[in-house]
Copies of this chain bind each other. A is one copy, B any other.
Amino acid sequence: MGNYDETLKDIEATMGSVPGYMKALTEDVLMQEWPLMKKYVFGESIIPAKYREMIGLAVAANTRCPYCTMFHTGAAQLNGATDEEIQEIYFLASFTGRWSSMLFAQQYDMEKFAEEFHAVGAHLSK
């Protein structure tokens, strides 16, 4: 693992200060988590930052996490997400869970689901 003081300095340089919920973590946990947050919140990866944050918002709406909905909405906007894009997330956040509930309620056979799913793929590839 790295150096805790360097981690704190890097957070401060990136975020302006070290939030209390980061200081509250053990040193080893923060040292391991920070590089991932630095890259996947403040840096670049294959998926553009705007979409990463919209993914985060949709997940947050499903885990019913008020910290996370605030964080990802704000970060999405800082990365250029428009009101129209955020508005689409309102629905997309509910889309997977609604079908999941409708499928579990049916105790739908997994193999039948897979077969039907692959048949759709084959149909679309024609």
Contact = CB atoms under 8 A, between A and B. Distances in A.
A67 B100 contact: yes
Copies in the assembly, this chain: 6
B60 A90 contact: no
Nearest to A109: B20
A89 interface: yes
A56 B92 contact: yes
A20 B116 contact: yes
B46 A110 contact: no
B90 A25 contact: yes
Interface of A: 1, 15-17, 19-21, 24-26, 28-29, 32-33, 35-36, 39-40, 45-47, 51-52, 54-74, 78, 82, 84-85, 87-108, 110, 112-114, 116-125
Given A55-B55, A59-B95, A63-B64, 6 more contacts: A24-B90, A26-B90, A47-B51, A55-B89, A66-B110, A68-B99
